[in-house]
Each structure stands twice: as structure tokens, then as C-alpha cells.
């Protein structure tokens, strides 16, 4: 992650888990530590929601440290593929 990037470029890229090859989706939200001024994690909205029209959805959390590479078209991450061990939050419209 040597080059500078911005949030709008990140949300256009598919996120791929190197552990199982899963295309997890795209980043939808970001968690920032306001005291440190650092990104802590990104959230990936679960598939199945259509343009925010189905109300609440759940999101998978990907810690900043789990991002291995931000490429031209995809973001490679190394996350535990057991969804039960991942932090999940509810996203509201």
C-alpha cells in the first residue's frame, strides 16, 4: 500500500479473501479512531440488499491490518472465513 488512494476509489473495487478466494463484496463503510486519526476497519455490506430498499442489512468487518494489497481492480484481504467469528454490525438507512 505504497500509493495514495481515497475512499471513493476503494469502494469501487471488489474485496477478495485470499484464504478461500471468496469475492466478499465492496467496502461500504469505514471505522475511524478519532483520537488517533487512523482507519481501524472497513465494512462490507452483505449481498442480497438491493439499493438500500430492503431496510436493515448486516456488514462484515475487515480490519485495516487484514488488507494485504490494494490493486487496480481488487483489494486482497486475509480474513478468518468463519462468519461467526467476525464482528458484524447492523447498518441502517
pLDDT digits (tens, 9 = 90+) for 16-33: 999 999 999 999 899 999
Confidence of residue 35 (pLDDT cuts 50, 70, 90): very high
Give the predicted TM-score (pTM) of the model.
0.72
Q: Identify whether the C-beta of residue 92 lies closer than 8 Å to the C-beta of residue 56.
A: yes
| pLDDT computed for residue 1 by the predictor | 45
> What is the H or E stretch that residue 25 is in?
strand 23-33
Helix, strand, coil percentages for the chain (3-state, nearest 5): 10, 45, 45
Position with higher pLDDT, 5 vs 20: 20
Residue with cell 505504497: 2
45-74 per-position pLDDT tens digit: 765 555 555 555 668 899 999 999 999 999
Backbone angles phi, psi at 53, to 5 degrees: -90, -5
Q: Is the pLDDT of residue 92 over 80?
A: no
- Walk me through the domains of the chain, giving residue ranges and CATH numbers: 7-78 (2.30.30.240)
Position with higher pLDDT, 63 vs 86: 63
Q: Identify whether the C-beta of residue 68 lies closer than 8 Å to the C-beta of residue 10.
A: no
> Measured at the alpha carbon of residue 21, what is the angle toward residues 18 and 27, in degrees to the nearest 5?
75
Residue with cell 476503494: 10
**Mean pLDDT value of segment 82-93:** 49
Amino acid at each position: 500500500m505504497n500509493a495514495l488512494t481515497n475512499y471513493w476509489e476503494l469502494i469501487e473495487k471488489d474485496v477478495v479473501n485470499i484464504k478461500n478466494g471468496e469475492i466478499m463484496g465492496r467496502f461500504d463503510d469505514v471505522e475511524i479512531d478519532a483520537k488517533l486519526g487512523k482507519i481501524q476497519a472497513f465494512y462490507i455490506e452483505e449481498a442480497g440488499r438491493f439499493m438500500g430498499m430492503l431496510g436493515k442489512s448486516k456488514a462484515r468487518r475487515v480490519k485495516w491490518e487484514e488488507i494485504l494489497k490494494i490493486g487496480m481492480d481488487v483489494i486482497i484481504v486475509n480474513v478468518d472465513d468463519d462468519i461467526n467469528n467476525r464482528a458484524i454490525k447492523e447498518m441502517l438507512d
